[in-house]
A and B are shown apart, each in its own frame.
Chain A
Amino acid sequence: MVILFGVRRFLRERFSLMDKIYENLSWLLPAPADFAAQCHSLLELGEDLGTRLQQLASYSLDDNELHRLAKVIGKARTANYSFAPLTPFRLGLLSNATVDFIVPALVASAARYGVALECIAGNYNQVMQMALTPDSVINAAHCDAVLVALDYRGLPLRSTPGNFDEARATVQAAFGHLETIRAGLKNKGNTICILQTVASPAEYLFGSLDRALLGTINNVIEEVNRGIVQGLAGTQDVLLDVARLAETVGLGEWHSPSEWNLAKLPFANAFVALYADHVARIIAALLGKTRRCLILDLDNTLWGGVIGDDGLGGIQIAQGDATGEAYLSVQRFVLDLRERGILLAVCSKNQDDVARLPFQKHPEMLLRENHFAIFQANWNDKATNIKAIANELALGLDSMVFLDDNPVERGLVRQLLPQVAVPELPNDPALYVRTLSAAGYFESVDFGNDDLKRAEFYQDNARRVILRNEVGDIQEYLASLKMEITFQPFDDNGISRIAQLINKSNQFNLTTRRYTEAEVRALWHDPRCFTLQVRLSDIFGDNGMISVVVCRQLSNSQWDIDTWLMSCRVLGRRVEDMVLKHLIEHASLRGIRKLVGIYRPTSRNQLVERHYAKLGFTELNQDSDGNTVWQLEVDRSSVTTPPMVVRSIGFDMVET
């Protein structure tokens, strides 16, 4: 019983953030277990406070964690620490409701966007007085912006269903109330106002008629919101669309009567983190920190499947298929982003010509090559590629967003390039768009001709950038993956997956020899064959079977490597070095002195042209078809391997 609870609790914790995309800010990583300790040590370590603060704020933090972080920020401020390179910003906050939980959430969330926020709250429910009095706390503070956080209870709204004149008077009064506050703040405080739209209460008076009938609260609020938006046009003031935010999570969830009654909380405290993040985005946009470029992985991010293995006909990107539809929606959204001036780039582990194929030839693709400023498809690590993309576009890394379905790639980029925004993605691609959009990386406060033309300015010629230096310590990241590799000979359990890999792998495939399942069984049972199936798991989960090797003993002391293939998903982790080491061990035990490998080039496997060279084999010869033969002397070889836990199962011990 206890064990069952443990599993269910583990599963819930593991997947719980993804259940509630908005409430849990699920595009952010969950706070680390030592979050409290990391907060504590922020002040002790002296240098780089600003940068470390931003990194700590970049997790998904609940209201208590935001509060803890805000307290540390407060201490740092009192002690006159420098928050560089964060941009300082002073925000005034006026509300008819309790803001005591909102203020620390704002301060901590702003750090996520590179802002060192000071938040001055007006006195409880004295919005008008604060705005109009020249020496009020808010006006005297000379805020960079004032957030006028009024909810429906803070406006003079009356319910007069069916009475047109009264309804109009109500709307005028509410709007006038806001305008007076706004004018007061600008005259006395000379500041920007952030105005909120009003979230309609969840309760109906009639039902559907509430929306249609003049004078109902719902109808009045809709008119007030329209007026707020119109009133902002042509001014410096900006909009925070709380009405939309509340609708997104559900008015019934947003509004909490018990929490209002208990402590005059304007909305359910569960949404403080979300609200604060939205305010922080507006501030970041005001400061010009909106991100400008979306870098995209290809396989299983823009289409289902792997282009290098599945080919044009095999990738999923079509109407009428659930998975294909999901990826179409991703492409549609990406295209919409481009239309509003966000730059696009590709960063994929693929052969360049193979990666471009769907954009050039697939009829259902919405994205084409000329939608991209840069197109990086190669076998180098993504951090180095992203740095090169940023340099080429003359944009900072803090302008970049990177979308990739693979948690290992996401982890690498987060670790080596922490200023790049890398959203966590759910397993289901149908939710990629929602998650990316919910993250709000591209929030803006205005939009004009410059934005429309930006994409053209960067010349979408999908060009390639030559890589120079490698970025950062990738080996350290690989070690942190705690990889476990398992070697086994062919067996009944693995036979169908082995046959599948043999017949499907195109890229990391040295000889591209295809065998039927019957032929695979024959290899397994052939006493002159040594067979290997390789599995890999890491902290993100089990990758399953990722490599297959078949060696034939054609002469007494030599193994010919008939088949060596690997899944491209685990490229760059030096799995091939581990495999070679294992082969050598077994070869040694069996008195084999030479390993001979062949590379047979195809249009798809250019990737492994230098595979044997990299592993220390010597090239013996090359024929007219481009096939190359390589040799390794078992006794004279030395293979360095990355740190990995190795398990070896099912091999008979051989007597030499």
Chain B
Amino acid sequence: MLTEDSTTLEIYEKLTKIFHAVFHDDTIILDADLTAADVEDWDSLTHIRLVLAVQNTFQLKFSAAEIGKLMNVGGLVKLIQSKRPNVLTESVS
């Protein structure tokens, strides 16, 4: 049985891939406190790219309000988890 910790781990794994793809930088390491200030090139445009990629990967849709409230990666992970409590029961691409 996969635990909640493993779910979070899986989300971080996927997000890491997304960050690498969007920022063209394979050295980025994610933690909950990471913000736009910490990553070069994280501006409003890359933010949109990130959001779109997250939506696509996790097959979710965020509202503008939800996106507007995001402060750091930890918040993003929570948002994803809140929409997908049973990540295990469906395969994510």
Q: A interface vs B, CB < 8 Å?
A: 1, 5, 8-9, 12-13, 16, 36, 63-65, 67-68, 71, 100-101, 258-259, 261-263, 265, 269-270
Contacts and interface: CB of A to CB of B under 8 A. Distances in A.
Given A9-B91, A261-B64, A270-B56, A64 B22 contact: yes
Contacts, number: 44
B88 to A, nearest CB: 8
14 contacts: A12-B93, A13-B93, A16-B93, A63-B49, A64-B53, A65-B21, A67-B49, A68-B24, A101-B45, A101-B49, A258-B64, A262-B64, A262-B67, A263-B45
Interface in B42-65: 44-45, 48-49, 51-53, 56, 61, 63-64
Contacts of A1: 2, 88
B24 A36 contact: yes
B4 interface: no
B21 A64 contact: yes
B4 to A, nearest CB: 16
A126 to B, nearest CB: 18
A145 B57 CA distance: 36
B31 interface: no
Given A9-B93, A269-B52, A258 B61 contact: yes
B51 A262 contact: yes
Interface in B36-93: 44-45, 48-49, 51-53, 56, 61, 63-64, 67, 88, 91, 93
Interface residues of B, number: 21
Interface of chain A: mostly helix, strand, loop or mixed: helix
B48 A262 contact: yes
A13 B92 CA distance: 11
Interface in B13-33: 20-22, 24, 26
A262 B51 CA distance: 10
Taking each of A12, A63, A64, which has the highest tally of chain B beta carbons within 10 Å of its own beta carbon? A64
B26 A263 contact: no
Given A36-B26, A258-B61, A258-B64, A64 B93 contact: no
Contacts of A9: 91, 93
A64 B49 contact: yes
Nearest to A270: B56
Given A13-B93, A101-B49, A262-B51, 9 more contacts: A12-B91, A63-B49, A63-B52, A65-B21, A67-B49, A259-B52, A262-B64, A263-B44, A269-B52
A557 B86 CA distance: 69
A331 to B, nearest CB: 36
10 A-B pairs with least C-beta separation = A64-B21, A8-B91, A263-B48, A68-B24, A269-B52, A100-B45, A5-B91, A64-B22, A9-B91, A261-B64
B7 to A, nearest CB: 13
B22 to A, nearest CB: 6
Nearest to B50: A64
Contacts of B49: 63-64, 67, 101
A101 B46 CA distance: 10
